[in-house]
Structure 1
Amino acid sequence: MEHAADEQTIMNLIMAGGNAKSSAFEAIYAAKKGDQETAKAKLKEADEFMVAAHNAQTDMLTQEAQGNHVQVSLLMVHAQDHIMNAITFRDLAGEIVDLYGRLD
């Protein structure tokens, strides 16, 4: 039996992904200015947002594994897109922060 994913869960995924990406971008900006301390703090903040997203995804995957199939909506696809982009951006930001640190 299919059920729709909770809209609040979906919105939490979108917000967590957007917040993680924003924090990662702030990390790059701080590193560019030579502020490695802030850059690393912003990367940690991005990671915390990603943990929140991961936990929400894990809950949905657990439900799916238990036979409670989630109906996939455009909003759910949008949320997953945000998460995937945030993961990629966070990984890249970590490399850029490291590079700026080596250049200083």
Structure 2
Amino acid sequence: MMDLDNIPDTQTEAEELEEVVMGLIINSGQARSLAYAALKQAKQGDFAAAKTMMDQSRMALNEAHLVQTKLIEGDAGEGKMKVSLVLVHAQDHLMTSMLARELITELIELHEKLKA
């Protein structure tokens, strides 16, 4: 993995950054997929499985968020990082995954109340 404390200057480093960004997309997507799977379990009344999946979703999202934080810290608001379509896509993935988790958490709680 590349050193996120230093923003890439060379083509090799730019490719390493792209790998990191792809990891951000993968972790975000995994978090969202697990959250939707948890909702499916909650709809079926299996709240223990839903909780386990939401915990896994949180861990994947935390990993993605950590990468995002390092990228932002590395740029320090100075515009050192070249913005690419893949980077924008990764940010979009992360934000939609965060929103999905928040809403799905609420939906699972509603399902629990309805089934009680």
Is TM > 0.5 for Structure 1 vs Structure 2? yes
SS in 2 for 1:57: helix
What is the CA–CA distance in structure 1 between the aligned matches of 2:32 and 2:74, rounded to whole Å? Answer: 27
Give the corresponding residue for 1:23.
34
**Bigger Rg, which one:** 2
What is the CA–CA distance in structure 2 between the aligned matches of 1:34 and 1:25, rounded to whole Å? Answer: 14
**Structure 1 residue 65 displacement after superposition:** 1.5
Give the corresponding residue for 2:89.
78
Root mean square deviation of aligned Cα: 2.0
**Unpaired segments ≥5 residues, structure 1:** none
**Unpaired segments ≥5 residues, structure 2:** 1-6
What is the CA–CA distance in structure 2 between the aligned matches of 1:48 and 1:15, rounded to whole Å? Answer: 13
More deviation in 67-76 or 28-37?
Answer: 67-76
Report which of the two has the higher share of strand.
1
Give the corresponding residue for 1:35.
46
The yes-or-no answer on 1:65 pairing with 2:76 is: yes
TM-score w.r.t. length of structure 2: 0.83
Q: 1:50 aligns with which of 49, 61, 82?
A: 61
What is the CA–CA distance in structure 2 between the aligned matches of 1:54 and 1:2, rounded to whole Å? Answer: 20
Runs of 4+ with >4 A deviation: 1-5
Give the corresponding residue for 1:87.
98
Query: Are 1:2 and 1:68, in contact at CA under 8 Å, matched by a contact in 2?
Result: no
Cα gap change, 1:91 to 1:64, in 2 (>3 Å): same
TM-score w.r.t. length of structure 1: 0.92
SS in 2 for 1:6: helix
For residue 83 of structure 2, what is the amino acid of its counterpart? V
Query: Are 2:28 and 2:93, in contact at CA under 8 Å, matched by a contact in 1?
Result: yes
**Structure 1 residue 61 displacement after superposition:** 1.3
**Structure 1 residue 8 displacement after superposition:** 1.0
For residue 27 of structure 1, what is the amino acid of its counterpart? A
Q: Provide the aligned length of Structure 1 versus Structure 2.
A: 104
What is the CA–CA distance in structure 2 between the aligned matches of 1:91 and 1:16, rounded to whole Å? Answer: 16
